[in-house]
Every structure is written in structure tokens, then in C-alpha cells.
Structure 1
Amino acid sequence: MTVETENLRELITKTRNVLFDFDGPICRLFAGHTAERVAGELVEWLEGRGLHGLLTESERDSLDPHMVLRAVDRRHPGSDLVAELEERLTQEELRATDSAMPTAYADPLIQTWWAVGSRLAVATNNSPRVVRTYLSGRGLLSRFAPHIYGRTQDLHLLKPDPHCLNRALNGLGAAPSATLMIGDTPTDFEAAEAAGVSFLGYAHNDRKEKVLRDAGAEHVVGSLDTVLRMLRDQA
């Protein structure tokens, strides 16, 4: 057994509370409804309102709907424009739940962690309405509810700010030292660091793993089956 494998096993053994990011570790939300297209439509909507100059060229070309949303919020915080744009993104995310692809082994991992007595929460930059819709369709909502903490209209509190993780910790009454965050982006790692919780990176390809490790993540798995097997061994 490698040192890294043993360290990961110790990490899972001490975990009593698990905070899941949503898009990535639980499902591919935009598997059939691409995030790039959604970002492009948000940009087109802004341009249709005569707001072409509101975004920089790199923001317009980012192909990331959350980056578009954050960029507008930085320039017009708390405005009706931001509220309308956030609602448009939420509606697109809700439509995407119909074609979302479950992440391999996520469903049994959630069920197993719940069965052994761990407490679960979702801490995400997606809309909590979207998370509830998806989890309900998979028969998993009861494993998390009411501990689903997602995007609010205070967009400056999106990850890497630890706001949604801190809400989850408070809601669960959880000690950070006994809590694990599973995420797939550097912003998830940064939020976990800020909240004082352990972090496990999920990377479905080598590029994602490199990005996470370059950000400082020590523990990264390419499949949740690794975690599921360790958890079943522990049980």
C-alpha cells in the first residue's frame, strides 16, 4: 500500500461529515446542455440590452456562466440586473437537470456514507433549487435535506469564499476537523482551506488532476470507486 493510499484511508476514516460540491462530484450537470452555450446565451442577453461593454473580452470568451455572473455583480452589485441574470442562469441549470449525467459511483457512495452514520451536505455555486431537483430525481434528497447550501444573490460569496461551507458546518453542527469537502476545482480547494476542513479532489482526467494538484490539493482521486471501496472496507 502506498503512503498516498494510506493517507487517503486515514482521511476517510476520520470523516464524520461530508460536504459535496454538486456539479462534478455528484453529476455532470451540463452533460447534454453545455455550460459554454449557457454562458454564450447570458452574454448575448446582456448585449441585447445594450450592455456589450459591461464585460471584458476575456469575460465574454470565458465560456463559464459563473464568471459572467460574477463579472456583472462586480460592476452592479445587488442590482435588478444581477438578480435577473442569476434567475436566467438558474432556469438554464434547472433545464439541464433533465440531461445531467450521474458521476460514476456517486450514488452508492452517498448511500453508503449515509448508511454508516455520516452527515452529508451539499456546498455549491449552483442554485440550491437545481440541487434539490436533481437529488429528488435520483432518490437522494433525503440523504442531504435540509443541508443544501448553494448560490444566493450575494454573488461575492460564491466559492472560493467559504460562505456556503460555513453555512453547511453550522447547519450540521459539525466540527471542521471531522469534515471532508469533495470538490473538483481549485475554488473548492481554496474554500475548504478557508473553512478549515479537509479536502478530497475528484478529477476525471489528467488535466483536472494537474490543476487541482497545482492549486495545492494533496488528495485527488480519478474515480469515486476508490473512496467507496475504502469506505466499505472500513464499515
Structure 2
Amino acid sequence: MAAETENDTEKIRNLIARTRVVLWDFDGPICRLFAGHSAERVANELAGWLESRGLNGLLTESERESLDPHVVLRAVDRRHPRSDLVAELEERLTQEELRATATAWPTAYADALIRTWSAVGSRLAITTNNSPRAVRSYLADRDLTSCFAPHIYGRTQNLHHLKPDPHCLNRALSAMGASPSAALMIGDTPSDLEAAERARVPFLGYARNERKAKLLRQAGAEVVVASLKPLLGALGWRG
């Protein structure tokens, strides 16, 4: 990705200067959850579990080939909303996410940024499509729980509330008594951006590669960073 420009630096400083509440997406900005536990394999196993029960017809060919567990989960929920089938499939995905936390890769500078932002008095929440149980497991392993607790808002069995629906962002804002204009959402996908826009929360995109950066910019993200280090600099961090 292109080097950070002076204009980018100023935009980051302006965003951070007015931020009192930070809403973090989990998988991406905080860690690569499936770095050592393939999301593609998980998606295939979920699809295989459906097929073993004669339910392969619930997925279209493109859904089966998406290699994204959330695509599989959403597809089944659209056809059988709030069913026992969806509940079991969601629990299976949660168990895979819990296993994945053991081999997740921390995003560079994320731990330091979380601790620094918390130390200077900002309040932090996690707003994610992942299971809150997996989030809590990862945070406990990194000794980061106190920076967020109790404000962890993740996937429930009401899958229509997954981002890009702003439900988890609105839950966080309501629980923290924060106005959208005082918050900042850090996410790595267009669905994160759309959820932030629908919640009227300013957005900062994190993209670990040019492909992700291009998707965010095409979706309308104005500030996209390849590293969290500039945010630490804007907070006055000295590492």
C-alpha cells in the first residue's frame, strides 16, 4: 500500500482528537482470528454438515463456494430464520471460533493502541459479527479484557442483526451513553463501513493489504490505514 501522506496524518489526528468512544471490529483490526485455523475449512465443514443431513439444497452454488462461514450461516438463516437448525449451526461456528483464538495472530500495534487509548481515558467497545465468547477468550489470553469489559457486542442467534446492520454499534453507544459523533468505528470491511454510516459513527478503515484497502475505498471509506502505528502516534505514544 502507498505510504501515509501528510493529509492522511492530519485526517487521523482530527478523527482521534474528537473521539471519546472507540468501537472496534474484532477479526482484522484486533487480530487475524483464522490465521492458523482456516476460515475456508470451517465454511466447508459447515456446508458438509448440512449436506450430511440432506440439507445441501439450502445453499446455492455460490454460497457453497464462498469459503466464508458467515455466508453459510446467513444463507441458512434466510431460509429458516430463528430455527433450531440455525441455532446449532451458529453454535458450531462459535466452537470453531473459540478453537481459532489459540492460533490467532495479533494485529501489529493493536494491543499497544488498545492499552494506550484506554489509559488516556477513552472508552472502548467491540462490535463484531464474531461470537462474543470467542472475543472474550482472545482478550483474556492477551490480558486486554479490562480495556473493554463489559462492552463486547457480538453475534447472537438473531442473525439479521449482523453487520452491515448497525445493531451492535447502537447497542454499544446506548450502553455507554455516547453520541455517535463522539465515537469512532475501526473496521476492515465494507460491511463495517456501512454499519458505521447507518449508526452515524465516523469510520476509520484498517486494511492489511491493498485488496482490502481497495474494497474499503470503493465503498466510500475516506481514511484507510495499512498499519495502526499512525494512530498510536496521534495519541502521543512513545514505544
Report the TM range for the smaller structure's normalisation: over 0.9
Residues 55-79 of structure 1 deviation map (CA, whole Å, 9 limit, x = unaligned): 0000000000001000000000000
**Which of these residues, 208, 211, 214, is aligned with residue 207 of structure 1?**
211
- Equivalent in 106, 124, 128 of residue 124 of structure 1: 128
The residue that corresponds to 1:30 in the other structure is 34
Q: Report how far residue 52 of structure 1 moved.
A: 1.0
Identity among equivalent pairs (%): 74
- Equivalent runs, 1:126-165 vs 2, <5 Å: 126-165=130-169
Q: Work out the number of aligned pairs and report it.
A: 234
Pairs within 5 Å for 1:1-235: 2-232=6-236
Please state whether the residue corresponding to 1:23 is helix, strand or coil.
coil
**Other structure's SS at 1:217 match:** coil
Distance 1:130 1:22 in 2: 10
Shift of 1:3: 2.5
Q: Secondary structure at the match of 2:236?
A: helix
- What is the alpha-carbon distance in structure 2 between the residues aligned to residue 138 and residue 55 of structure 1? 37
TM-superposed CA distance for 1:5, in Å, is 2.0
Deviations, residues 139-183 of structure 1 (Å, cap 9, x unaligned): 000110000000000001100000000001011111100100000
* TM-score of the superposed pair, with normalisation by structure 2: 0.96
Q: What letter matches 1:119 in structure 2?
A: R
- Counterpart amino acid of 2:206? Y
Query: 1:233, CA displacement in angstroms?
Result: 6.1
Q: What is the Cα deviation at residue 4 of structure 1?
A: 2.8
State the SS of the aligned residue for 2:34: coil
Please tell me whether the aligned partners of residues 22 and 185 of structure 2 are also in contact (alpha carbons under 8 angstroms): yes
Calculate the TM-score normalised by the size of structure 1.
Answer: 0.98
SS in 2 for 1:12: helix
Structure 2 residue identity aligned to 1:198: P
Give the ranges of 4+ consecutive aligned residues of structure 1 lying more than 6 Å apart after TM superposition. none
- Unmatched segments (≥5 aa) in structure 1: none
Q: 2:95 and 2:218 mapped to 1: Cα distance?
A: 34
| Secondary structure at the counterpart of residue 232 of structure 1 | coil
| CA root-mean-square deviation | 1.1
* Structure 2 unpaired stretches of 5+: none
